[in-house]
Amino acid sequence: MILGIGTDLANIDRIAGTLDRFGDRFRNRVFTEIEQSKAERRKDVAGTYAKRWAAKEACSKALGTGLAMGISWKDMSVTNLRSGQPTMHVTGWAKEQLNKMTPAGHRAVIHVTLTDDYPWAQAFVLIEAVPIDA
> In DSSP terms, which residues pair with 109 in a beta bridge?
128
Q: Which residue range forms the structural domain that includes residue 120?
A: 2-131
- Model confidence over 70-107: pLDDT tens digits? 678 999 999 999 999 999 999 999 999 999 999 999 99
**How many distinct structural domains can be found in the chain?**
1
- Model confidence over 25-72: pLDDT tens digits? 999 999 999 999 999 999 999 999 999 999 999 999 999 977 666 678
Determine the pLDDT at residue 69: 64
The secondary structure of the chain as a DSSP string is -EEEEEEEEEEHHHHHHHHHHHTHHHHHHHS-HHHHHHHHHSS-HHHHHHHHHHHHHHHHHHTT--GGGS--GGGEEEEE-TTS-EEEEE-HHHHHHHHHHSPTTEEEEEEEEEEEETTEEEEEEEEEEEETT-
Determine the pLDDT at residue 72: 86
Q: What is the CATH number of the domain that holds 42?
A: 3.90.470.20
Determine the pLDDT at residue 71: 75
